[in-house]
Amino acid sequence: MLQKLNQLETWRRNLFILWFGVFMTGIGFSEVMPFLSLYVDTLGHFTKNELTFYSGLAFLMSFLVQIFVSPLWGKLADLKGRKLMLLRAAFGMAIAFSLMGTVTNVWELIGLRALQGFFGGFISNANAMIAAQTPKEHSGYALGILVTGITAGNLLGPFVGGVLASIVSYRMAFFITGVILLLVFVLVLIFVKEEFSPVARGETLSRREVVAKLPHPRVTIGLFITTMIVMTVNTSISPIVSLFVRELNHGAGNTTFLAGVIAAMPGIATVIAAPRFGRLGDKIGTRRIVMYGFILAFWMFIPTSFVTSVLQLGILRFMVGISDASMLPAVQTMLAKTTPQEITSRVFAYNQSFQAIGAVAGPLLGTVVASYFDYRGIFIASAMLIALNAILFFVNTREVASDK
C-alpha cells in the first residue's frame, strides 16, 4: 500500500492522506457530544445547573477559541507553508486529546478543550493545500472528496464517541483519539508533499489587503455566510437528538444506540454522494449544485418536524446528508475558483472561522428553539434558515453565475 501511495500523483496522494486527517479531526471535535456531560459529572459534585453550565462551556470552548485563532494560522501558513501547519495542528491536537484523559477537575478539561481549539487549523490548511495543488478541472472532485472526510467526521463523531465510551471508558476514548491523531501527524510528515514559495515576513498582507486582492469580495463573504448557516443548521439538532429519539420511541429500546445511528445518517449520505456531486459540479457549475442542495434541504426539514417514528427520522436525516453533499463541497470549490492562490490559506482560514461560529450557534439555536417550540420546532427553524441562506447565496453570487 505504501508503494502504491508513492506512485500516485502528488495531489492525489495528498488528497488520500488529508482525507484521513480531516476525517479524524472532525471525529475529534464532535465525538465528545454523547459523553462529555457524563465525563464532567465524574470530575466533581455539581448541581444540575452547574453540570449544564460546565458541560456547555467545555463543549463550546474549542470552537470559541478556533473562531479567533484560525485567521492567525492562515497568515502563518503563508510564511511557513501549509504542511508545517498541518503537522502543528495534528501533533498539538494529539497532545491535547491525550491529556484530556488524565484531568482531575473540570477546569483542566475546559483548558484542554481551549488548547484543542488553539491547535486547530488542520481542516482549513488541508482545504487550502488541495485547492492550490489540484488541477482546476479536478478541483470540484478533489474538494468534494475532502469534504466527505470533514462532514462525515463531524457527523459520525458522536456515534464513534458513544461506541468508544461504552466499550472502553471516557478516559480511554480520549487516549485512543490522541493516538490516531499522532498517526495522522506521522502520515502527513512522510507522505504529504508541498512545493511552497514562502511570503517574506514583511510582505504578509493585512486583512484589508487580503480583501482588496479578492476579485469578487461580495462572493467570498457570501460563501463564508453560506458555510456558517449550513453548519448552524447541521448542528442545531445536536443538543436534543437523544431526547427526540427517546420521545419517538416512547422510551423503549436502546436510546443511546438509536441516537448514534440517527446522528450518523447525514455523514453516511455525505460520504456516498459528495464525490459524485463534485464531478457533476465540474460539468454543470458548482453554483447550480448549491442551489439544488438548498431546495432539497428545505423540503427535507419541513416533513422532519412531523415524523412519528425513528425510521422516518433516519430516512429524512439521510436525505439531509445528501443536501449537505451538494452544498459544502461546492462552496469550497467556489472559494478555490474565486480566490488568488497567494491568499488561499487566508481565505480558507477565514472560512474555518465562520464554520466554527456556526458550530457554536447551532447548538445554542437548537436549545433555545426547543425550549419555546418543542423539539420539532428546530426543524422548522432550520428550514427557514435554509430558505434565507438560499436567497443570500443567490444574490451574493450572481456576478459569477455564468462561469461558476
In a domain, residue 368? The reply is: yes
196: in domain: no
- Other residues' Cβ atoms within 10 Å of the Cβ of residue 3: 6
Q: Return the minimum-mean-pLDDT range out of 95-109, 264-278, 369-383.
A: 264-278
The answer to whether 46 and 57 are in contact (CB under 8 A) is no
Task: For residue 89, give the 3-state DSSP assignment.
Answer: helix
Residue 88 has what pLDDT? 92
User: Is residue 231 a part of any domain in this protein?
Assistant: yes
CB 86 within 8 A of CB 21: yes
Which domain range does residue 224 map to? Answer: 2-191+207-400
Nearest alpha-carbon partner for 277 in 231, 337, 323, 226: 323
Residue among 310, 289, 317, 335 at smallest CA distance from 382: 317
Is this structure's pTM higher than 0.75?
no
pLDDT of 357 = 85
Domains: count for the chain: 1
Could you tell me the CATH number of the domain that includes residue 324?
1.20.1250.20
pLDDT of residue 115: 93
Residue 211: burial class (beta carbons within 10 Å; 0-12, 13-18, 19+)? middle
The answer to the question of residue 383 being in a domain is: yes
Query: Is 265 contained in some domain?
Result: yes
Residue 35 above 90 pLDDT? Answer: no
Residue 52 lies in a domain: yes
- Report the first-to-last Cα separation within the chain, whole angstroms: 37
**65 occurs within a structural domain:** yes
Nearest to 27 by CA among 197, 229, 260: 260
Taking Cα atoms as reference points, which of 353, 314, 332 lies closest to residue 147? 332
Asked if residue 197 belongs to a domain, the reply is: no
For residues 356 and 251, the model is more confident at 356
The model's pLDDT over 308-355, given as tens digits with 9 standing for 90+, comes to 888 899 999 999 888 888 887 778 778 877 787 777 777 877 887 888
> What cell does 126 get?
488541508
